[in-house]
C-alpha cells in the first residue's frame, strides 16, 4: 500500500532559529491553523515544544470536530524536528520539519507522510480529496508561518524553552 508523502518547501527571509522556534510554538500553530479552529487541549498547550513533548489538538476538518495527539520524537535545534501521531483519525503520520540556512533566506521543508485509516476506502479517499486537502492545509500553515517570521524576525518571538 502506497503511503502518500507531501513535501512543501517554503523560502523565508528570516533567520533559521526564528523559523525553527515559530514552527514548534504551540501558540503560533494555533494562529496559523485558525481556518480549522485548531487548539491545543492537552499536553503542551502553549509555548515551545521540546523533544518528548506531546500535544493533543482539537480541530474541525470536513465539518467534524476531531482530536489528534502528536509527540515530538526528534529535535536538532535549529535544523530539524519530527512529530508523529500517537492517537487520532489517521492510521499513522510522521511530519518532518527541516530548516536550511541559505544566503539571506531560510528554506523550510515540511515532509508529511501519512497512512489513512480504513484500508482500501482510505486509499480511495486519498485519491479523491484527502491528499489535496492535507497539501492545502500544510501550504496554508507554511504561508502563515512565513508571514509571521518575515514580519517579526524574532523581535516578538519568545525563543526561550517552555
For 3-24, the pLDDT digits (tens) are 789 999 999 999 999 999 999 9
CA 142/CA 118 separation, integer angstroms: 29
What pLDDT was estimated at residue 40? 96
CATH numbers and ranges of domains, the chain = 5-152 (3.30.530.20)
Q: Which helix (H) or strand (E) holds 143?
A: helix 131-152
C-alpha cell at 35: 481556518
pTM for the structure as a whole: 0.89
Amino acid at each position: 500500500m502506497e503511503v502518500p508523502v507531501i513535501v512543501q518547501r517554503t523560502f523565508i527571509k528570516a533567520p533559521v532559529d526564528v523559523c525553527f522556534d515559530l514552527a514548534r510554538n504551540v501558540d503560533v500553530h494555533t494562529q496559523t491553523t485558525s481556518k480549522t479552529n485548531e487548539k491545543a487541549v492537552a499536553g503542551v498547550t502553549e509555548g515551545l515544544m521540546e523533544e518528548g513533548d506531546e500535544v493533543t489538538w482539537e480541530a474541525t476538518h470536513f465539518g467534524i470536530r476531531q482530536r489528534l495527539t502528536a509527540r515530538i520524537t526528534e529535535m536538532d535545534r535549529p535544523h530539524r524536528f519530527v512529530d508523529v501521531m500517537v492517537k487520532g483519525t489517521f492510521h499513522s503520520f510522521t511530519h518532518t520539519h527541516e530548516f536550511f540556512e541559505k544566503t539571506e533566506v531560510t528554506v523550510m521543508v515540511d515532509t508529511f507522510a501519512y497512512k489513512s485509516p480504513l484500508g482500501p476506502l482510505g486509499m480511495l479517499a486519498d485519491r479523491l480529496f484527502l491528499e489535496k486537502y492535507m497539501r492545502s492545509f500544510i501550504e496554508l500553515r507554511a504561508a502563515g508561518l512565513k508571514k509571521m517570521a518575515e514580519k517579526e524576525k524574532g523581535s516578538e518571538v519568545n525563543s526561550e524553552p517552555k
